[in-house]
Every structure is written in C-alpha cells, then in structure tokens.
Amino acid sequence: MIELYLSDTCPYCTRVRQFMEVNDVPYVTKPVLRGMFTDSGFGEELRERGGKVQVPYLVDPEGDVEMYESDDIIAYIQEHYVRHR
C-alpha cells in the first residue's frame, strides 16, 4: 500500500491528501510533526529514506518508487492508480 509522509500544517500535503481521497486511492499516513521530527517517530525515518525531512513524500513499495513534491506525487498517482472514467 502507498505510504505518504505528511504534515497537518503543510498546504502541499493537504493537496495530495485531498487528491487521494477524491480519487479513492488507499494509503497509509506517516505523520511528520514540524519542529518535533524525532518526537513524531517518522521524521527521522523520512530523513533516512529520502535524505531530508520534507513533506509530502510518497513511498510506493509495489512500484519501487519514492518521491518528494506534491505535483510529482499527484501525477504519479494519476498515472498509476486512478481509474480513468
């Protein structure tokens, strides 16, 4: 299942989250709390995976894909997971 590292205060994360929900794409949220990265449990994990603590960040184990940037994430999900109507 797709994993998304997100923050509640990030407008780019909100954009990705809304896109996922509107298109009924299931995902697991890994919350990253800004300013408290080590306390969230997922900030340090994100740093180890991607090299920096920046959200949103997508992990698609099925496609072996990881990426930053909301526009890139949405384009990837659109291409690989959204059924065209």
Q: 3-54 pLDDT, tens per residue?
A: 999 998 899 999 999 999 999 999 999 999 866 444 556 988 999 999 999 9
Give the dihedral of Cα atoms 3, 5, 6, 11; nearest 10 deg.
-90
pTM of structure: 0.89
What's the total number of domains in the chain?
Answer: 1
Which residues form the domain of 10? 2-81
74's CB contacts (< 8 A; 6+ apart) are: 15, 16, 19
Domain of 18, CATH number, reads: 3.40.30.10
Distance CA 73, CA 7 (A): 15
Q: Which residues partner with 65 through β-bridges?
A: 60
Helix (H) / strand (E) element for 39: namely helix 37-40
